[in-house]
Amino acid sequence: MFPVEAGAVLAGVLGLLVGSFLNVVIHRLPRMLERQWAAECAELAGQAPAPAEPFNLVRPRSRCRNCGHAIRWYENIPVLSYLALRGKCSSCGTPIGLRYPLVEIATAGFFAFCGWKWGISWTAAAWCGFAAALLALALIDWDTTLLPDDITLPLVWAGLIAAALRWNGLTLQQSLWGAVAGYLSLWLVYQGFKLLTGKEGMGYGDFKLFAALGAWFGWQALIPMVLMASVIGAIIGIAMKLSDNLREGGAIPFGPFLAGAGLTALVFGPSSILRAVGL
């Protein structure tokens, strides 16, 4: 039986490695989808897809975006390599984004928390996977306004499976109705907004992500999580509008705030969100 501290340390080290991989997922998965969509469009148009080099989560090797320098293994050690390189490419000196080590540290932090709370167990592994998926979804959505089905749908199924195995504290019935309530609630809001304004207020990926949160926490947790996501999203949206930092079209993705609410619920519990806003 591992001591709690050892479980937290081991999970944290694993989180650093997973965080490094998440950086690859965040950068490459949207581009993989774009290539897939382009190939499908070409096929429907009766055109041969343009030849392209293999591009997936493994190939090609990670390279500097400026000079094309192939990242060596010792330049890809989570956090340590960033510090050793002083945040710059070893070949051309182009700055490396601070997001990379921050994602690794955040993933390590959530993994260490899971290891501390649940020890070395399947429950801890399930919640580590949950945290990793939400981190990836939050940053992909912020960058591209996409919430890929490749992550949201497995996250829904994982919540149901975790409930069936009693890893997330829910019964399968509670998890199922949580997923249903999560999806339908935002779908109804979407339809009502579209009926009143003729515009689409959110994407279908938000419905699926909220369904996943319902599957992991149950329907009772949905109200505090969507309340937190809406309030923080509104505050940040207003701040970005006042500072003239809104992207073209003025759209602000909702997924990062839903993901943030889910991660908050993981650490503090859904009821803590209601207490924080005085309800």
List pLDDT tens digits, range 5-48.
Answer: 778 999 999 999 999 999 999 999 999 998 888 888 888 888 87
- In angstroms, what CA-CA distances link 37 with 83, 145, 272? 38, 16, 41
Q: Which amino acid is at 94?
A: T
Q: Is 258 exposed, middle or buried (0-12, 13-18, 19+ CB in 10 A)?
A: buried
Two tokens, residue 194: 């579209």
Which comes out higher in pLDDT, residue 232 or 245?
232
Mean pLDDT over each residue of the chain, to the nearest integer:
89
- Tell whether 129 and 71 lie within a shared domain: no
What SS3 class is residue 51? coil
* Cβ-based neighbours of 132, under 8 Å, separated by 6 or more: 18, 19, 22, 107, 110, 111
- Tell whether 145 and 182 lie within a shared domain: yes
What percentage of the chain exceeds 90 in pLDDT?
58
**Backbone phi, psi, residue 61, to 5°:** -65, 150
H or E stretch covering 74? none
CB 33 within 8 A of CB 114: no
User: Which of 119, 146, 165 corresponds to the end of one domain?
Assistant: 119
Domain containing residue 43: 1-119
- pTM score, whole prediction: 0.91
List pLDDT tens digits, range 169-209.
Answer: 899 999 999 999 999 999 999 999 888 888 877 889 999 99
Residue with tokens 């996943």: 212
The closest of 230, 227, 235 to 279, measured between CA atoms, is: 227
User: Which of 67, 86, 119 corresponds to the end of one domain?
Assistant: 119
Two tokens, residue 253: 């993705």
- Tell whether 223 and 266 lie within a shared domain: yes
Number of domains in the chain: 2
List pLDDT tens digits, range 69-84.
Answer: 888 888 889 999 999 9
- Tell whether 16 and 108 lie within a shared domain: yes
pLDDT category of residue 1 using cuts at 50, 70 and 90 = low
Query: What is the torsional sign of CA 231, 233, 238, 242?
Result: positive
pLDDT category of residue 155 using cuts at 50, 70 and 90 = very high
What SS3 class is residue 95? strand
- Tell whether 113 and 125 lie within a shared domain: no
- Tell whether 146 and 62 lie within a shared domain: no
- Tell whether 264 and 147 lie within a shared domain: yes
CB 168 within 8 A of CB 57: no
- Tell whether 125 and 194 lie within a shared domain: yes
User: Which of 119, 134, 167 corresponds to the end of one domain?
Assistant: 119
- Tell whether 275 and 256 lie within a shared domain: yes
- Tell whether 240 and 110 lie within a shared domain: no
Which comes out higher in pLDDT, residue 187 or 4?
187
Residue 276 has a pLDDT of 62
- Tell whether 95 and 136 lie within a shared domain: no
DSSP one-letter string for 214-259: HHHH-GGGHHHHHHHHHHHHHHHHHHHHHTT-PPTT----SHHHHH
Residue 48 has a pLDDT of 73
Residue with tokens 């081991």: 10
- Tell whether 82 and 181 lie within a shared domain: no
Q: Is the peptide bond before 60 cis (omega within 30 degrees of 0)?
A: yes
